[in-house]
Amino acid sequence: MKSKIIIGTWPLSGDYGNIDLNQIQQSLEFCYENGLKEFDTAPNYGNGFMEFCLGKVFQQNSDVQINTKIGNLPFGKKSFDIESLKKSFNESLKRLNKKSINTLFLHNPRNDILDYDKIIDFMEKLKNENMIKCIGLSKAKDFDYDSVVELNRFDVIQDDVNLLYLDSIKKQKLSKTIFMARSPLASGLLSGRITKNTIFANDDHRHSWLKEERLESLLRRINVIKENSGIELPILAMKFVLNLENVDKVIFGIKKIEHIKKILELISDYKLNYEVIDKFKMLYEKDFGLINEKQYSY
């Protein structure tokens, strides 16, 4: 089961609010010591800071698997120009202290790419040169990729999957493609700690969108989930995604050692009854009984 779990490092980057350097190091080391050795990151997580931390902590650990991305750059910049992608990848390798990585993802492109062939050829070249093991696409939510690229050209697909968002698993998974589910706790909404009075700090990326009508509507959905479960909300949320068909791996974002301990506890008891899974799928299809609130969905 540990091989199915990937540690998401975005919450450690400072983009969810300030974080202590010792906390970052101790959290990463605790993951490794407990057999969680695959990590998801990106150049824009903390404006390159998270890749730097991973490189610093794991520079001597050859058995650590790092997945990073190209397309989104530090300081809010974004470019899918081929020369920019090459430069971004090389800079990531330097920050990570690696000569190669596990999976390289295109990071949430929408209408940014007109010619996928050239970019995939570049990634294939990296793969043939053993600089990356897998070619990946980290999907932008609700964008129709089928109209612009054949998804079976990617070794790995990454997309949001959680109790509040299941659109990404409605289609049959491509037979040879690894599917990674991200955001199992829906940006913290399914942690059980967010209320209608929660105000996110200006340096927390949720500050711009998780507020007012959207926040209140999402909390109404979460109340329906709670009413239909006898399981602690975050445990239910994590078990739910781990038990979904067609999900090969799950990215769990962590910010402190307590989060890692929760994941380790989950590994020993992760099974969830299929009737329970079907019940929450049905609730999702009915938008949890809410009327005319689709515009405020996750």
Residue with tokens 């929660």: 198
Residue 56 lies in a domain: yes
Residue 187 lies in a domain: yes
Q: CA 31 → CA 3, 24, 34, 36, 139, distances in Å?
A: 13, 11, 5, 5, 26
DSSP codes of every residue in 99-160: S-EEEEEEES-STT-S-HHHHHHHHHHHHHTTSEEEEEEEPPTT--GGGTS-GGG-SEEEEE
DSSP codes of every residue in 21-65: HHHHHHHHHHHHHTT--EEE--TTTTTTHHHHHHHHHSTT-TT-E
Coil, strand or helix at 228: coil
Strands 5-8 and 249-253, bridge-based pairing: parallel
Residue 266 lies in a domain: yes
CA distance 119 to 249: 25
Number of domains in the chain: 1
pLDDT below 70 — which residues of the chain?
Answer: 172
Strand partners, 135: 104
Fill in the DSSP letter of residue 268. Answer: H
CA distance 290 to 216: 12
pLDDT tens profile 33-75: 999 999 999 999 999 999 999 999 999 999 999 999 999 999 9
CA distance 241 to 215: 22
CA distance 176 to 180: 13
Residue with tokens 């926040």: 215
**Confidence (pLDDT) at 50:** 98
Helices then strands, counting H and E runs in the chain, come out as 8, 8
**Confidence (pLDDT) at 172:** 67
Residue 217 lies in a domain: no
Domain that holds residue 45: 2-195+234-271
**Confidence (pLDDT) at 203:** 78
Residue 189 lies in a domain: yes
**Confidence (pLDDT) at 18:** 84
CA distance 194 to 220: 12
Residue 203 lies in a domain: no
Residue 71 lies in a domain: yes
Q: Residue 239: which CATH number? A: 3.20.20.100
CA distance 171 to 255: 32
Residue 80 lies in a domain: yes
**Confidence (pLDDT) at 133:** 98
